[in-house]
Chains A and B, each alone.
Chain A
Amino acid sequence: MTQGQDRTAELLLQARLALISHQVAVSGTDPQVVRLPENALPELIRAFAGTADTVYQLVPVSGRPKNLDLFSLLVWRRHAMKGHDVRRLYLVPFGNPDAERILLQVEDDNASRIIAHRLYAGASSRDRQARDPAGGSVDAAVPMTNMWIVDNRVVVYEEYGDNGPPSWVVSARKEEVRTARARWDQLWEKRSELEHEAPRVPEPLLESADMVHSIAQYACTGDHVDADGCAWYHGSWQYLRLFNLVSSPNWHARFYEEHLRLELHAHARPRVLITGAADYGMLAYVLAAADRPENLDVHVADLCHTPLLANRWLGRRHGVDVAIHAVDFLDRGEEFAADLGPVDLVVSDAFLTRFERVEAERVVENWRRVLRPGGCVVTTVRLHDLERSVEDQSRAETEYLLRLYERAKSSHWLLEIDFDDLHDAAREYVRRMRSRPIGGQSEIESIFVQHGFRITKAEVGHVDGELQPATYLRIVAHA
């Protein structure tokens, strides 16, 4: 053997050693546990599918299916067709983009003799967490990871860190099998409960949150919340919505559904204006309330391009051409109203408290200007006077971040953002975002009345809030 060949062999040997050493480091040396890299999953499926009698699977549906998912599904369907007991429970996180696809998949599974169901894990709320003394709601406790119980002997699950692809763990540890079985039983029982059904206003947050975060980094130009730049707020907004940590139309879902439906149905081709939009949340409600969204003439006005682009994106998904207007509705509202022409409906969620009182009055005045006679504003306004002041801001911020940790730790890998960056973004948000008090219920109503509105609905609603429970006035006012 030549010297060169010796060296080649030595290098190859070193590479083999590195591989083995890496495998030992990744897989570990617990005799009851085997840890596989994600790419080894087909081998594992093939092995188990040849021998397993019962396979119970929790399968998260993130909206970004992996290539391996389809392979796995087809193998297990074949396995079920052979008479084996295969059950699948699809865990659908809040913000999943495609309810229809999941429904079809469940039907196909059932046709292939897999007993399949879906279970919607809604955005966690403080109330639901508080009800569960074990330290979290059902939603919060369910990791959005694949978990299989095979022959009631081993549990197979994905193991995520803050970065990188997951490992797949096969564990025969009694404690783990017991815990997995308890989780399976608990969730399987809930498969038909109403509260775990699909939300009535679907929002593809899991699909768009990363996208909006990226766009915000260069499209954010500053708005009424922060004139210097609003990327810190628009960029993190949808992530925080996913974990129910920011004010959104969802906090007033029934109010918006009811009144938007009522107002939209009064017109054959309603002209709708959304003013102030942190993302497309308000548009989602408008589209959901319309029987024929394609008949809507929808306009969205905001200072910043990021929410405008998000609205256009959602509109296109629904086949609606949403007109977007980068305009300062506070200072340019009059010209804008003149250019746009009268609309039937103005919708705006928690917009007025972005302003000082005197400015909020101008916004209401501009709403009046843009509405046709008889037109209507549907909006919500936070009532600071009915809330306790936050006694210890730091403590409240810490609890906010811990809520994020609790809610995101089981599912943050569904998003592209690094967990640390998500945490930093939330911290930035909670430190900087401020809602401005503009008065109590009567004062707010009087602003509308002074500017020529007739209040047709005014109800007070209590919601989870961001730092603490919050109270909102829900208003429908006609011009």
Chain B
Amino acid sequence: MWNSLLGAVSIGDRLEAAWKEIHAERRKALDGEEPSLILTHRIDVAGQRLTIDVGTDARRDARQISVDLPLIERAVNRRFSPLRLVALRLVEDVLERRRDDFPEIDRSSRPGIDELGAPDQTVERVYQSLSQMPDVVLVGGPGTQKTISAAIVAYQFEREGHACAWLDVRDGRAGAETIAWELLRLPRHDDILVVVNQVQDRMSEVGPAFALTQKLRTDFRLPARVLATGRPAIVDRDPLFQSFRRVPTPAPDHLPATVPEREIVYWFACLKLLEIRPPTAIVRRRFPEDLIHRLSRGPDSFLSHNSAHYSLASGRDAPTLIRRLRSTTPPGDVIWEYLKLIGRSAGSDLLHRLDQGDFRGGATGGRSYLRPAWNLLFDLGTQLDDHCARDPGWGENVGAAVFAAEALAELGHHSQWQEVARFVRGRWRYDQPRVLPEPADQSTRESEDFVEIARYMDLEDAYLSVPDLGLGPANTDQIDFERFYRTWMLGVLLGFEATALHKADDLRRSLVRTAEAQCQPEGFFYPSRVPWVTARVVLGLCRAGETYQNSTTVRRACEWLKRPRDKGGPYGGWWKGGTGSWNRDEATTAMCVAALIRAGDGDAPEVHTALAWLRARDGEWTKTDREIDLALVLEATLLGAADWRSSYGRILNLLHWATAEIHRKTIRQPEPRFVPENALRAPFAAAQLAILVRVSVARECEALLGQTAVRRLPRQRPVYAPPPSAGTSPSGGLLLLPNEQRWKRAARAIAETLENRIKDRSAVLERDSLRRASDIWQQVEGDKQRLARCLELEDRLKAPVNPDDLEALIELGRAVRGAAWDEGLTYKGRPARA
């Protein structure tokens, strides 16, 4: 680029060399064809500038631009290409304000031909409108396939021998400049279509792009048309679109009728988020062939396929389907399972793309950590296998063995898992519902930890029992340590059975029943002095599918965890361990935060405060030998913090440490020092790390879904809404006033307000390099939840309508759009008070 300038010394030579570079770049782009825009040049040595006439056959001198030598040299230094420089000057008169710097000019992202389906009625209408009017706008809400329709129109247009310049304003390119640059590279055509896609995302670029097209028509006499796409909230309001022919998109598609079909479509939609097209062999192994066949049939098919792959059918919008299908399995979990299915190498490639943010609409990116973490996780798995082959009982320590088994289960190492499971299930008995787990024969090594814990608690009591200060900790003598130990094991074993590779449902159910029986009336699990026991049991229950929403036990335990200290609870801004430095406050707090989030109570203010406290304590949990604390805090941060990606570096470091540590244990190197819970450290870290990498993937998927605001759902038992029965009126007998359309428009207005708010605040968050905008993040998260709720309620307007849903919508509308939002909206039979 600009190489001709290297040997040029005089001003004239340098300007001539610059022209040569412009000409060469254009010639290369045109590939021997005649250009749409004709350039002729003059060199003004005295003025140190290159003057270029830009025109067409119809008008050779439509526009004159000049490029001076300092600008050329700046472009050379910045490696800004010659033709981009011309594009930059060409649009100067249509820009609303001058750019401070060289903007990004490049090919805008446009769906590939293989992503497009057959032309439908919308495409036909757009095409027809373009034949009648020069400017057309395709209007529709999210998920109405505007981009796909516009792309089909563009391809048809090109196939008929015309040209197209495509600008998707979502991808950050400069608007008018990009179109000008495309035009400078275009061969001559009878008709040119300028597509400006998704205008609502950056209206500041849209005005100049339209103004440029107008000038092409008037000054250059080029036959240029515009096809814009956008949301109604912008298009209907902005005067820029007054002269446009409006083509509305049809309402979103229907959903598959049966639960198994919905599950299949949901699976494909999740994979589509990462543009994954699963191989036919995997699909056939995973799903019944008749269902796949049914979903791939007909003009409204949900799936498409070729000989090698299946994928979500072109025209189907993955985020919209994910939102509407409302599965209880988060997209991240679907993708994680798929990653494990395809193995190390293919999974690594996929995560590399996620790292790079290499997905449409995906300005996320794992910052180059996910792929390395995935690879290191496999290294860790190898070390775990080695250790389990030599010692499946992990030194006769059931606690350690359980954590190792969880890691093995997460990694899908069946045979090693079975070895460890045989040891765990053989050494502990927990098949009696309502009876705490107990050793089958003689005690296992982790029981020694509780002797140590007793000493720690004694010492804590001694420190805190200062005369005259009125401190009165629970006396250690009164603690039943066996019950304490067995209750902890209840939580540990719940986690083990819930994640088991070879399920023993009776054991899992028995443990759940026991947990229900052991939950004390106040909500804690014994002893109340030690909240990490309650957190451990809640974590185990969550893994078994019990959550705040569906389990009284979990709800009571969560409420107890959040209860303030002055009301008899354990919470005081953070959680104290109650066992001295055996599970310090940082580890205990992280465990409680993770338990609350996993239970589905993560938006509680106690969680946010505790996360802030944890952040302030990073001088403690990052100390050497506190890897358990570190692993727990990383999980809490990944699950709940606004800047979860800040944990990625530490996850890699922990992976590195855990791999080395397990290796050290396997070859029986001596312990360098005494560390509490030393036997548990490495297997626990391994189990946590498998979770951490999984959660990282899940959060990146959430980020990809951010625009559609699907909030990660807590794990819970599948609960599907019954399908609407045939013959029921949409309103289920309720008469919506003034009419159903007004209600739908009103719901859409709330959604659009929320979407705009989320977008604006997310932009602020992205710019916040110091990562201190957690309050903004909380607002964004709140809005995302409101939006998810709004979309859910909007969906339900089509089903039999429940008055509670209508009231909820009214309440949401007032909160988002002000008190007057529901003016004129009501339904028959609405109580006067409401």
Rounded to whole angstroms, the CA-CA distance of A171 and B581 in the bound complex is: 14
Q: Is the CB of A163 within 8 A of B619?
A: yes
Rounded to whole angstroms, the CA-CA distance of A176 and B673 in the bound complex is: 4
Stretch from A118-126, A154-162, A445-453, A468-476 that touches the partner: A154-162
8 CB < 8 A contacts A-B: A27-B581, A28-B584, A29-B582, A162-B622, A167-B623, A409-B653, A419-B622, A423-B649
Q: Note all chain B residues with C-beta closer than 8 A to A163.
A: 618-619, 622
CB-based nearest B residue for A134: B669
Q: How many residues of A contact B (CB 8 A)?
A: 52
Q: Is the CB of B460 within 8 A of A359?
A: no
Q: Note all chain A residues with C-beta closer than 8 A to B278.
A: none
B-contact 0/1 string along A27-64, CB 8 Å cutoff:
11111100000000000000000000000000000000
Chain B contact residues: over half helix, strand or loop, or mixed? Answer: helix
- B445-466 interface with A by 8 A CB criterion: 455-457, 459-460, 463-464, 466
- B332-389 interface with A by 8 A CB criterion: 348, 352, 355, 367-368, 371-372, 375-376
Stretch from A77-85, A255-263, A288-296, A396-404 that touches the partner: A396-404
Interface residue from B371, B471, B671 paired with A20 (Cβ < 8 Å)? B471
A67 at the interface (CB under 8 A from B): no
CB-based nearest B residue for A393: B352
Q: Is the CB of A427 within 8 A of B656?
A: no
Q: Is the CB of A24 within 8 A of B580?
A: yes
A358 at the interface (CB under 8 A from B): yes
- A20-B469, A29-B579 given. 13 additional CB < 8 A pairs? A20-B463, A24-B464, A29-B459, A161-B621, A162-B618, A164-B619, A175-B672, A362-B6, A394-B348, A394-B371, A394-B375, A398-B372, A409-B653
Q: Is the CB of A395 within 8 A of B375?
A: yes
Q: Known contacts A21-B464, A423-B649: does B673 contact A179 (CB below 8 Å)?
A: yes
Q: Is the CB of A24 within 8 A of B460?
A: yes
Q: Note all chain B residues with C-beta closer than 8 A to A176.
A: 672-674
Q: Note all chain A residues with C-beta closer than 8 A to B621.
A: 161
Q: Is the CB of A397 within 8 A of B673?
A: no
Rounded to whole angstroms, the CA-CA distance of A24 and B456 in the bound complex is: 11
Rounded to whole angstroms, the CA-CA distance of A272 and B777 in the bound complex is: 54
Q: Note all chain A residues with C-beta closer than 8 A to B581.
A: 27-30
Rounded to whole angstroms, the CA-CA distance of A31 and B672 in the bound complex is: 18
Most buried by B among A28, A228, A358: A28
Q: How many residues of B contact A (CB 8 A)?
A: 54
Rounded to whole angstroms, the CA-CA distance of A32 and B348 in the bound complex is: 46
A424 at the interface (CB under 8 A from B): yes
CB distance from B376 to the nearest CB of A (A): 7
Q: Note all chain B residues with C-beta closer than 8 A to A162.
A: 618-619, 622
B822 at the interface (CB under 8 A from A): no
Rounded to whole angstroms, the CA-CA distance of A27 and B464 in the bound complex is: 13
CB distance from A182 to the nearest CB of B (A): 9
CB distance from B498 to the nearest CB of A (A): 32
CB distance from A226 to the nearest CB of B (A): 10
Q: Known contacts A29-B456, A179-B672: does B619 contact A398 (CB below 8 Å)?
A: no
Q: Note all chain A residues with C-beta closer than 8 A to B670.
A: 175
CB distance from B18 to the nearest CB of A (A): 14
Most buried by B among A135, A161, A163, A395: A161
B627 at the interface (CB under 8 A from A): no
Q: Note all chain B residues with C-beta closer than 8 A to A161.
A: 618-623
- A319-357 interface with B by 8 A CB criterion: 328, 331
Stretch from B73-81, B158-166, B224-232, B252-260 that touches the partner: B73-81
Q: Known contacts A20-B464, A362-B6, A402-B656: does B623 contact A160 (CB below 8 Å)?
A: yes
Rounded to whole angstroms, the CA-CA distance of A191 and B623 in the bound complex is: 29
B-contact 0/1 string along A1-35, CB 8 Å cutoff:
00000000000010011001101110111111000
Top 10 A-B pairs, shortest CB-CB distance: A29-B580, A28-B581, A164-B619, A398-B372, A161-B619, A162-B622, A29-B459, A173-B674, A163-B619, A161-B622
Most buried by B among A25, A29, A359: A29
Q: Known contacts A135-B660, A160-B623, A362-B6: does B585 contact A25 (CB below 8 Å)?
A: yes
Rounded to whole angstroms, the CA-CA distance of A163 and B653 in the bound complex is: 16
Rounded to whole angstroms, the CA-CA distance of A291 and B673 in the bound complex is: 50
B32 at the interface (CB under 8 A from A): no
CB-based nearest A residue for B367: A427
What is the number of contacts between chain A and chain B, taking CB atoms within 8 Å? 129
CB-based nearest A residue for B672: A179
Q: Note all chain A residues with C-beta closer than 8 A to B78.
A: 227-228
A-contact 0/1 string along B43-86, CB 8 Å cutoff:
00000000000000000000000000000010011110000000
Interface residue from A135, A401, A431 paired with B652 (Cβ < 8 Å)? A401
Q: Note all chain A residues with C-beta closer than 8 A to B73.
A: 331
Q: Is the CB of A395 within 8 A of B372?
A: yes
Q: Is the CB of A398 within 8 A of B673?
A: no
A405 at the interface (CB under 8 A from B): yes
Q: Note all chain B residues with C-beta closer than 8 A to A397.
A: 368, 372
Q: Is the CB of B618 within 8 A of A424?
A: no
A420 at the interface (CB under 8 A from B): yes
B676 at the interface (CB under 8 A from A): yes
B-contact 0/1 string along A125-140, CB 8 Å cutoff:
0000000000100000
Q: Note all chain B residues with C-beta closer than 8 A to A31.
A: 455, 459
Q: Note all chain B residues with C-beta closer than 8 A to A395.
A: 372, 375
Q: Note all chain A residues with C-beta closer than 8 A to B469.
A: 13, 16-17, 20
Rounded to whole angstroms, the CA-CA distance of A174 and B671 in the bound complex is: 10
CB-based nearest B residue for A419: B622
Q: Is the CB of B456 within 8 A of A398?
A: no
Q: Note all chain A residues with C-beta closer than 8 A to B202.
A: none
B242 at the interface (CB under 8 A from A): no
Q: Note all chain A residues with C-beta closer than 8 A to B576.
A: 21, 25
CB-based nearest B residue for A401: B652
Rounded to whole angstroms, the CA-CA distance of A129 and B493 in the bound complex is: 41
Q: Note all chain A residues with C-beta closer than 8 A to B623.
A: 159-161, 167
Rounded to whole angstroms, the CA-CA distance of A333 and B6 in the bound complex is: 12
Q: Note all chain B residues with C-beta closer than 8 A to A362.
A: 6
- B782-822 interface with A by 8 A CB criterion: none
Q: Note all chain B residues with C-beta closer than 8 A to A13.
A: 469-470
Rounded to whole angstroms, the CA-CA distance of A135 and B73 in the bound complex is: 52
Q: Note all chain B residues with C-beta closer than 8 A to A171.
A: 673-674
Q: Note all chain B residues with C-beta closer than 8 A to A25.
A: 576, 584-585
CB-based nearest A residue for B470: A13
Q: Known contacts A394-B372, A397-B368, A431-B368: does B646 contact A420 (CB below 8 Å)?
A: yes
B204 at the interface (CB under 8 A from A): no
B624 at the interface (CB under 8 A from A): yes
B3 at the interface (CB under 8 A from A): yes
CB-based nearest B residue for A172: B674
CB distance from B341 to the nearest CB of A (A): 21
Q: Note all chain A residues with C-beta closer than 8 A to B585.
A: 25
CB-based nearest B residue for A431: B368
Q: Is the CB of A358 within 8 A of B3?
A: yes
- B606-639 interface with A by 8 A CB criterion: 618-624
- B668-689 interface with A by 8 A CB criterion: 670-674, 676
Q: Is the CB of B580 within 8 A of A28?
A: yes
CB distance from B669 to the nearest CB of A (A): 8
Q: Is the CB of B622 within 8 A of A398?
A: no
Q: Is the CB of B582 within 8 A of A175?
A: no
Q: Note all chain B residues with C-beta closer than 8 A to A30.
A: 456, 459, 580-581, 674, 676
Q: Note all chain B residues with C-beta closer than 8 A to A328.
A: 77
Rounded to whole angstroms, the CA-CA distance of A23 and B676 in the bound complex is: 19
Q: Note all chain B residues with C-beta closer than 8 A to A29.
A: 455-457, 459-460, 463, 579-582
Rounded to whole angstroms, the CA-CA distance of A175 and B672 in the bound complex is: 6
Q: Note all chain B residues with C-beta closer than 8 A to A222.
A: 77
Interface residue from A24, A409, A423 paired with B463 (Cβ < 8 Å)? A24
CB-based nearest B residue for A160: B623
CB distance from A252 to the nearest CB of B (A): 29
Q: Known contacts A227-B78, A228-B78: does B660 contact A405 (CB below 8 Å)?
A: no
Rounded to whole angstroms, the CA-CA distance of A20 and B456 in the bound complex is: 16
Q: Known contacts A25-B584, A179-B672, A394-B368: does B6 contact A359 (CB below 8 Å)?
A: yes
